Amino acid sequence: MTNNFKGILKPLRNVRVLNFFRRIFNASNHFNKKYLKILIWGFESKEDTNYTYDLTEDNILYLAHTISIVTKNDFNKILSYINEARNDSKLKNYILKKIKRSKYLAVADLRCEFGRRLGWYAFARAIKPKIIIETGVDKGLGAVLLCSALIKNKQEGFSGQYFGTDISLDAGYLLSEKYTEVGKILYGDSIESLKKFDKPIDLFINDSDHSLDYEYEEYKTVKSLLHAKSIILGDNSHCSNKLAKFSEENSRSFLFFKEEPRDHWYPGAGIGISF
């Protein structure tokens, strides 16, 4: 190869190298802020599961539109329900008080934000369910939020009950005081508890064992308790197609809402919606 030809190739190689680094920089730039948030979270947070965060304002709008379409309710009404939960200072103070006094303070942050559970709340306010079941309670953040929705429904003349299922006897410590007037936890294996349940279910939320087979088995177990207006929310649908498959097999519609956490490293999960 002549020196002249080598001289022509050298700039081409330099361009390729520069393009490589430019493309790597452009791609990684989408994640660099996340790395910083991970470092800050690592020092400041005590959570290692069930992370707490608010949603971005745009994401709140998308959530309200999604629920509006599914429930055939006015968008502004749904948005008001979401903001009702976000701005409920009494509920948030109650939750923070319970966390401070619990043995779980060492692994919990003193913050009260509901993330995608705001969608659960808005569904409960919109469809005025007589029966809500949530499988998988953990500390009970979703439970007390749903019970708060039922209490507000009751004040408007619509009575309802919440039933949570969890295999851990320590689950649901947030669910106490006035919230137990409309809420109860069924301890034991979720599927076994569901097999014993005999009331029509208006709103069913899957958030227990996140294995695909167990999730699908829950849907099959409650199938006979569902009616034409029943809504199923899947907390596993960001990584599982089981609710979509169940919906297809049972002539139900399915949508997926992708959550976008605000100021948090977690990319977000979402809500599978079968209706």
CATH number, domain containing residue 65: 3.40.50.150
pLDDT at 11 over 90: no
pLDDT at 83 over 90: yes
Is residue 165 assigned to a domain? yes
Is residue 231 assigned to a domain? yes
Q: Are residues 172 and 210 in the same domain?
A: yes
Mean pLDDT of the chain: 93
The total of structural domains in the chain comes to 2
pLDDT more than 70, % of the chain: 95
Is residue 37 assigned to a domain? no
Q: What value does the mean pLDDT take over residues 231-254?
A: 97
Q: Residues near 269 by Cβ (< 8 Å), separated by ≥ 6? A: 116, 235, 238, 239, 259
23 or 11, higher pLDDT: 23
pLDDT at 217 over 90: yes
Q: Are residues 91 and 13 in the same domain?
A: no
Residue 42's CB is within 10 A of a number of other CB atoms, namely 9
pLDDT score of 187: 97
Confidence of residue 25 (pLDDT cuts 50, 70, 90): confident
pLDDT score of 69: 98
Q: Are residues 8 and 63 in the same domain?
A: no
Confidence of residue 24 (pLDDT cuts 50, 70, 90): confident
Confidence of residue 203 (pLDDT cuts 50, 70, 90): very high
Cα–Cα distance for residue pair 163/139, rounded to 1 Å: 14
Q: Are residues 200 and 262 in the same domain?
A: yes
Q: Are residues 108 and 222 in the same domain?
A: yes
pLDDT at 71 over 90: yes
Is residue 13 assigned to a domain? yes
pLDDT at 3 over 70: no
Confidence of residue 230 (pLDDT cuts 50, 70, 90): very high
Is residue 36 assigned to a domain? no
pLDDT at 21 over 80: no
Q: Are residues 74 and 18 in the same domain?
A: no
Which of 33-42, 60-69, 78-87, 141-150 shows the lowest per-residue confidence on average (mean pLDDT)? 33-42
- Per DSSP (E only), the strands in the chain are 131-135, 161-166, 183-187, 203-206, 231-234, 254-258, 270-274
**3-class DSSP state of 184:** strand
Q: Are residues 15 and 70 in the same domain?
A: no
Is residue 266 assigned to a domain? yes
Q: What value does the mean pLDDT take over residues 28-48?
A: 87
pTM as predicted: 0.91
Is residue 182 assigned to a domain? yes
pLDDT at 165 over 90: yes
Is residue 39 assigned to a domain? no
Q: Are residues 163 and 231 in the same domain?
A: yes
pLDDT at 162 over 70: yes
Confidence of residue 259 (pLDDT cuts 50, 70, 90): very high
pLDDT score of 8: 52
Q: Are residues 17 and 84 in the same domain?
A: no
**Torsion over CA of 109, 115, 117 and 123, rounded to 10 degrees?**
150
Q: Are residues 18 and 88 in the same domain?
A: no
pLDDT score of 73: 98
Q: Are residues 17 and 147 in the same domain?
A: no
- Structural domain including 9 reads 3-30
Q: Are residues 153 and 247 in the same domain?
A: yes
